[in-house]
Chains A and B, each alone.
Chain A
């Protein structure tokens, strides 16, 4: 079990209330392209991490730590992640 390989899918998004000028520009472009139904657009980041030689539990703990220490800046960003087995 400890030797399983995992893929962590990490999503980092701007916190609610934090200005997202990219999202705003994309929203305006979509509306100009004829999609008036588009409300707010928020742009974040998607990262894929491959992990080996850890248990699922340890992978979850450590990916959370990676997010808190480097992958996201908690002042401006939220994060969430999923961990799936690589078969």
Chain B
């Protein structure tokens, strides 16, 4: 399948994302600049992590007005797959492609650590290579990852099973201590109602090789490949994998 990875000014996980897709998963990747205006012939486009436009005003607030975002909006409206990771998630929220917003972490500090997230819905285009309740071990690195939305929106996303990942402890339990940033509902990743746009704060692209501490991140990319009709290599069925 053909992936597009967008580089915004200030993106810093674009190369890592492309590395995982090309070199670890053998996929075809088109590197896109934020000033590009078309997403022709792509099956999935990734908005990577980083600090687009220096996080000025609000994280993702300027990135959403990059020329390529018009194409991303049309791509999403056509039902194609869009993945936003960290800053990419923030941009998708700012663009209104995902509900809610991401604000400063509850504890104010920038967090760079491993977290566990539980798969809440394994029937999505982004998690179908996981099992319901799987606990993934992924890193986070963000200052503004606290997911918020109004009560009506929260009820709608829960009812629609749009929450795909939730912060938990190693046993898959939602506890205050396991929620690193204060996200409402311990939400770590959420998809749109239609199911083709997904944003997550943890970084799957930084968890695809044992060398860097784990391979759980592959499951997200392999799920997307499965959803796009690409035969993917089998994924280990173990519930928790550590370093």
Contacts and interface: CB of A to CB of B under 8 A. Distances in A.
Interface of A: 18-19, 21-22, 25, 70-71, 73, 75-76
A19 B58 contact: no
Nearest to B94: A73
B204 to A, nearest CB: 25
Contacts of B182: 19, 21
A19 B94 CA distance: 18
Contacts of B146: 19, 21
Contact of A21 (B58, B61, B65, B106): B106
B107 interface: yes
Contact of B104 (A22, A70, A71, A73): A22
B101 interface: yes
Q: How large is the interface on B (under 10, 10 to 19, 20 to 34, 35 or more residues)?
A: 10 to 19
Nearest to A70: B61
Interface in B102-129: 103-108
Given A19-B146, A21-B182, A70-B65, A76 B101 contact: yes
A71 B146 CA distance: 20
Q: Indicate the member of A18, A25, A75 with the most B CB atoms within 10 Å.
A: A75
21 contacts: A18-B103, A18-B148, A19-B106, A19-B146, A19-B148, A19-B182, A21-B104, A21-B106, A21-B107, A21-B108, A21-B182, A70-B61, A70-B65, A73-B58, A75-B100, A75-B101, A75-B148, A75-B149, A75-B150, A76-B101, A76-B148
A76 B101 CA distance: 7
Contacts of B149: 75
Contacts of B57: 70-71
A21 B61 CA distance: 20
Contacts of B101: 73, 75-76
